[in-house]
Structure 1
């Protein structure tokens, strides 16, 4: 392994039982499985190495939190080898779905196999410090090919870059999901221009957003309460197109590692209405991931 590949800190090993009781069918719509590396090796060209976080660790966490379903999101450390995610989905008895990473060489037969394995979307990274804009010809080609499958695309970008990519986003014909509240910075307030752009984008009926990753938004540190107003505003702007997730095991966190029990209670602080939380945790992910 190259010395240039950084190693991520592990998740909090002692997740607290949240004070908030999640409803039956609650879904963690953004989480990862990593390795174990001796079974599912990491990509040689990865920019970081996470600690192994196999599906057994995810199940343990969800048992503590009261989560019954999950969406396994492929991360760049595994590259386009989606085997770990597919294995986790296959072991879930229908409780897991997934989002894959593919490249321009993926065949229609491979897309069909991913679909049969529970994949329901693809993810593209636009975040500059994580590699920046993908090959846009590949992006356009893949989106054109997943339309027949009823999939969506997950856009990992900074809200400040929405304007730069506005024309391409406007052309998207499948549902698209903005990761991590657009990675806005809480210290700049809810009136900041990048967040206003994100709220404007949510007027698009194809636009969805994940109110996860408060540790990537917060300027105050754990328990990241300064991220709650952003989650609240997004949930109000698109109540039927908002998702929530833990982001377990929280790769690439430079500051405070969140306690996942606290993240459940932070959702309740941001969205205190129980019916609204039910939409975010149960109804919305069901429509996007379990429509079949």
Structure 2
């Protein structure tokens, strides 16, 4: 049984980052350190996610994938007008999807010929689009991308904000939109969410909502290592333990750690 951590970041504090980044790191998170975390927790594979402060320069992450010799895949950030040829080249480098990090950004209009063209290329490649945005954005984007028929991966349980009512209208509308034919969701980053003060109880509440929506076969787990901006509050082992406290059924946990991510990422 191969197991997968589907969400981590690598970066070097001495790299050039984009202007006006919301956050830039003051330390380095290396691929060797991440692989050591995987080994310590007996995980076979990992997925690296492009951090926002690199913009569309995916080179550091792709170098890390190459160094890992088959243990890692990558989700990149690109401009919507990227060509099919460029995406095909990325495919040879272990890339399996693109990410939209929309915090601090307006909701993009994806009902355009440009996005139609891009989503059709992604479908041909077998890639997905990963969305990192507030739940209110998802109410707009999930129906729009569903019209394109492309797989969507939702970061961090939909990112309910600190203090947001999980039984409130917005979050419940988001849950109701989830479709196991098109959508995947990451059980990750609980310390960033509405559940920060009681991660286990809150995580279980959302987990039960997802199961009731028929999403058990579409949930994957991610450590969110190295926990940027929360490094002093949590660590890899704590997030690993959280998974076990939230998902107590061993068969369900095996599905989340192995069956689901191997299908999604092609390990």
Give the TM-score normalised by the residue count of structure 1. Answer: 0.81
What SS does structure 1 have at the residue aligned with 2:34? Answer: helix
Instruction: Rate the CA distance shift 1:84–1:227 in 2: closer, same or farther, 3 A.
Output: farther
- 8 Å contact 2:81–2:118 — kept in the other structure? no
Cα distance in 2, alignment partners of residues 103 and 220 from structure 1? 33
- 8 Å contact 2:107–2:137 — kept in the other structure? no
Q: Deviations over 1:268-291 (max 9, x none)?
A: 111111111111111111111116
Q: Which moved more, 1:51-60 or 1:159-168?
A: 159-168
Q: Which residue of 2 aligns with 1:244?
A: 221
CA apart distance, 1:45: 4.5
Cα distance in 2, alignment partners of residues 250 and 239 from structure 1? 25
- 8 Å contact 2:226–2:235 — kept in the other structure? no
What SS does structure 2 have at the residue aligned with 1:161? Answer: helix
What SS does structure 1 have at the residue aligned with 2:36? Answer: helix
RMSD: 2.3
CA apart distance, 1:158: 1.2
Instruction: Rate the CA distance shift 1:155–1:281 in 2: closer, same or farther, 3 A.
Output: same
Q: Which residue of 1 aligns with 2:208?
A: 233
Cα distance in 1, alignment partners of residues 201 and 87 from structure 2? 40
Q: Which residue of 1 aligns with 2:106?
A: 132
CA apart distance, 1:37: 2.8
- Pair 1:112-2:88 in alignment: yes
Give 2:17's match in structure 1, choosing from 42, 57, 63: 42
Q: Which residue of 2 aligns with 1:83?
A: 59
Whose helix proportion is higher, 1 or 2? 2
**What does 1:48-59 align with in structure 2 at a 5 Å threshold?**
48-50=23-25, 51-59=27-35
What SS does structure 2 have at the residue aligned with 1:81? Answer: coil
- 8 Å contact 1:217–1:227 — kept in the other structure? no
Q: Which residue of 1 aligns with 2:155?
A: 179
How many residue pairs get aligned? The number is 262
- 8 Å contact 2:76–2:98 — kept in the other structure? yes
Give 1:191's match in structure 2, choosing from 140, 152, 167: 167
- 8 Å contact 1:104–1:141 — kept in the other structure? no
Cα distance in 2, alignment partners of residues 272 and 57 from structure 1? 28
Structure of greater relative contact order (alpha carbons < 8 Å, 6+ residues apart):
1
CA apart distance, 1:195: 2.5
- 8 Å contact 1:235–1:271 — kept in the other structure? no
- Pair 1:200-2:138 in alignment: no
Q: Which residue of 2 aligns with 1:278?
A: 254
Q: Deviations over 1:65-105 (max 9, x none)?
A: 33221011112111111111111111222111111100034
Cα distance in 1, alignment partners of residues 134 and 164 from structure 2? 14
CA apart distance, 1:219: 4.7
CA apart distance, 1:204: 4.6
Runs of 5+ consecutive residues of structure 2 not aligned to the other structure? none
- 8 Å contact 1:153–1:174 — kept in the other structure? yes
Q: Which residue of 2 aligns with 1:21?
A: none
- 8 Å contact 2:155–2:188 — kept in the other structure? yes
